[in-house]
Amino acid sequence: IAGITQAPTSQILAAGRRMTLRCTQDMRHNAMYWYRQDLGLGLRLIHYSNTAGTTGKGEVPDGYSVSRANTDDFPLTLASAVPSQTSVYFCASSDGLWSGYTFGSGTRLTVV
């Protein structure tokens, strides 16, 4: 089934630990995005990539890094997790200007 796969589904992480959230798409979309969803704040863009080999910062990039070595994969890394990074993280991809996004099912991360 074509779409976006995120892993893990959920994770409890000790503060200060490093964590990589995985995102893989099989639609050959050029653009990929990472959002975090927090109650009352909607979705906020963390990082994005318009094409393989390029990345950019979104609205809330601090404490996160990404890489885009190929078209399909777009991992998000928390170098040293803090409790304020407790959130639901969504990966998304897009094939063009007008088409909107395809979203993954999300990763629920709790930092304690």
Partner 1 sequence: GNSVTQMEGPVTLSEEAFLTINCTYTATGYPSLFWYVQYPGEGLQLLLKATKADDKGSNKGFEATYRKETTSFHLEKGSVQVSDSAVYFCALSPFDGSSNTGKLIFGQGTTLQVKP
2 binds partner 1 (CB under 8 A): no
CA–CA separation, 41 and 62 (whole Å): 17
Least CB distance to partner 1 at residue 2 (A):
14
> Is 47:31 a contact under the CB 8 Å cutoff?
no
Binding letters toward partner 1, positions 40-69, x by CB under 8 A: xxxxxx--x-x-----x-x-----------
Nearest partner of 26 among 89, 90, 95, judged by Cα: 95
The footprint of partner 1 (CB under 8 A) covers: 4, 31, 33, 35, 40-45, 48, 50, 56, 58, 90, 92, 94, 96-98, 100-106
